[in-house]
Amino acid sequence: MQRSLFAQQPSVLIFISLLAIFTIVITVLSEGFGLGLVSTSFVKILGKTLCLCLIAIAMDLVWGYCGILSLGHFAFFGLGGYMIGMWLMYERTKDIVIASLASAELPPTAEEIREGIGTQIFGVVGGAEIPVVWYFADSLFAQLALVVLVPGLLALVFGWLAFRSRVTGVYLSILTQAMTLALSLYLFQNDSGLRGNNGLSGLQNLPGLTDVPQSVVSVWFFLASALALGLGYLLAAWVVSGKFGNVIRAIRDDETRIRFMGYPVEAYKLVVFTLTAVIAAIAGALYYPQAGIINPAEIAPIASIYLAVWVAIGGRGRLYGAVIGAATVSLLSSWFTGGQAPSIPLGFYTINWVDWWQVLLGLGFVLVTLFMPKGIGGLFDRLVRKDAA
């Protein structure tokens, strides 16, 4: 099976090999496990970038292959982050509360610990009660399951409603955008049970492993992200390589025709939408412990549009294109907005990239859409074809 996949798509093998080499090199150069040439913060940036590549693959699957321009996949990404963040924050706060109550005259009861956790976590939103949605927050396995279940169910229900009523094209994009907006506005409320606009923080600390330095933790997460990206890539490549891939491409190209061939188009879309939502959620669950903080602004509709921009720049309908787009644009973006890029003095005006990067990105994106509809990935096609000719 695997052999046929690699034989069919040589790019898969190339990608997996490059990813493996990259991962090993970074690990060897890292502070935590190797020579210390790559700083912990940069390992975190790279790890986060790998997660963004993973969600870009999900986006490519749903948009590039199935033709659904979802402007909601960052919502699933964020939800995944929230689900794992709840466990991280709860358990860590529990450790802190237990430590602070250890010196009390009476050993604390379970209720007192819960009360302490509640005050610690929800004091900022003026509450002390632990909301119902945190019911499973003390169980890692339950929250890991929720990472998949909550975004998956949301995608399933939303997708079922949207596809069932035959909402397609830009209508669907707008509807997914509305869903994202609704979710982020909901999370912005203080009584959403997820700390309103404060979000969840301190996620970089692993409960029970406070002795392990961040330099080591960052490499763990980097490796986990690389593994997830590799597996996600293989899964996506397998999905698009067979007849299923042909059918979803056919849905993208002519939905009506494939429907009259007897394929239940809505069911296919729902499968792809939900599957990619779950991939996005897993990417988010790996991303936010590296970022350390998650808040509703991360879920804002604009994030999902950026995701589409990455995939479009990288090249739709090619998995490696999505990865290239996400990695390039997100790394460039943090380089430019981080203030490292040199300013350009024009004499009468100095172009400061912190201010002008968005303009460059926006216009650059328009140019890519106009003149390179296949994105950066399209350049590879051209190279390959030249070799063949």
Partner 1 sequence: MSSLLEVTSISVSFDGFKAINNLSFEIGEQELRAIIGPNGAGKTTFMDIVTGKTRPDEGRVRFGEPQLDLLRLSESQIARAGVGRKFQRPTVFEAQSVRDNLMMALSNDRLPFSVLGYRATVEDGSRVLALAEEIGLSDELDRIAGELSHGQKQWLEIGMLLAQEPKLLLVDEPAAGMTLGEREHTTDLLRRAAETRAVVVVEHDMEFVRRLDCKVTVLHEGSVLAEGSLDHVTANAEVIDVYLGR
Partner 2 sequence: MLRFACLLIAAMVCLAPAHAQEGGLNALLETHRAKIEKPSRTTISPVLEDLVDSQLPSVAVFLENWREKGVWQRRSDGRFFFVKPADGDEVMLIDVDTGADAGLADRSELSNLNPNSGVRAVIAAALVQFQLSDPDPARRLQALTALARDANQSHLSILREAIEAETDPDIKARKERLERLLTIRFGSDSANRVAAIESFAGDPGVDARAALNPLVATSIKVFDATPEGVNVARLLTPGSDIEPEVAYQLLVDAGKARPIVPLSERKRALIANIQDGAVADIPVADLVTQEARDRAYLALAAAGAVPPLVSREEQRSAVAAHVFAEIYSEPDPALTTAARQTLSDISGTVGFYRFISLALDGLSLASIYFLAAIGLAITFGVMGVINMAHGEFIMIGAYTGYVVQQFIPNYTASILVALPLAFAVAFMAGVALERLVIRHLAHRPLETLLATFGISIALQQIAKNIFGTQARPLTSPSWLDGAWALNDVVSVSYIRIAIFVLAVVFMGLLLFILKRTRLGLEIRAVTQNPRMASSMGINPDRINMMTFGLGSGIAGIAGVAIGLFAKVTSELGSGYIVQSFMTVVVGGVGNIWGTLAGAGMIGSLQKVIEFFNPSNTLAAQTYMIIFIIIFIQFRPKGIIALKGRAAGD
Binding stretches for partner 2 (CB under 8 A): 69, 105-111, 158, 161-162, 164-167, 169-171, 173-175, 177-179, 181-183, 185-186, 188-189, 191, 256, 301-302, 305, 308-309, 312, 355-359, 361-366, 369-370, 373
How many residues in the shown chain lie near partner 1 by CB under 8 A? 23
Closer residue to partner 1 (CB): 246 or 334: 246
In whole angstroms, what is the distance from residue 276 CA to residue 80 CA?
12
Q: Does 373 bind partner 1 (CB under 8 A)?
A: no
Least spacing, CB of residue 249 vs partner 1, in Å? 6
In whole angstroms, what is the distance from residue 280 CA to residue 380 CA?
26
Least spacing, CB of residue 171 vs partner 1, in Å? 19
Helix axes 375-388, 301-314, angle to 10 degrees: 10
Stretch that binds partner 1, among 102-110, 150-158, 262-270, 363-371 (CB under 8 A): 262-270
Closer residue to partner 2 (CB): 28 or 185: 185
User: φ and ψ at 109, to 5 degrees?
Assistant: -85, 165
Query: Contact at 8 Å (CB) between 325 and 310?
Result: yes
Which one of partner 2, partner 1, none is in contact with 185 (Cβ closer than 5 to 8 A by kind)?
Answer: partner 2
- Tracing tokens 């729902």 back to the chain, one arrives at 270
Closer residue to partner 2 (CB): 217 or 307: 307
Q: What residues have CB less than 8 Å from 145, skipping those under 6 apart?
A: none
Q: Does 237 bind partner 1 (CB under 8 A)?
A: no
**What tokens appear for 180 in the block?**
């994202």
In whole angstroms, what is the distance from residue 13 CA to residue 296 CA?
37
Closer residue to partner 1 (CB): 185 or 267: 267
Q: What residues have CB less than 8 Å from 233, skipping those under 6 apart?
A: 12, 15, 16, 19, 57, 319, 323
Among 36, 123, 213, 242, binds partner 1 (CB under 8 A): 242
Query: Contact at 8 Å (CB) between 305 and 173?
Result: no
Residues of span 269-328 touching partner 1 by CB under 8 A: 271
Among 18, 123, 257, 382, binds partner 1 (CB under 8 A): 257
In whole angstroms, what is the distance from residue 241 CA to residue 243 CA?
7
**Helix (H), strand (E) at residue 351:** strand 350-351
Q: Summarize as ranges the residues that interact with partner 1 (CB under 8 A).
A: 239, 242-244, 246-247, 249-250, 253-254, 256-265, 267-268, 271
